[in-house]
Amino acid sequence: MSGTEKEELLRKANISYKISVSLYLILILAQIAKVTWLQPPENSIALILAFSIFPLLIPAYGFLKRQPRASAWLCFILCFYFTSSVLYVWFDRSSINAWIMSIGSFSLFISAMMFTRWQGKANNPS
Residue-range domain boundaries for the chain: 3-123
Residue pair 9/121 in contact by the 8 Å Cβ criterion: yes
Mean pLDDT of all residues in 28-38? 91
Measured between alpha carbons, how far is 20 from 23 in angstroms, rounded to an integer? 5
Report whether pLDDT(10) > 80. Answer: yes
Residue pair 35/49 in contact by the 8 Å Cβ criterion: yes
pTM of the predicted model as reported, rounded to 2 decimal places? 0.92
Read off the pLDDT band of 39 (50, 70, 90).
Answer: confident
Closest among 99, 82, 108 to 22, alpha carbons compared: 108
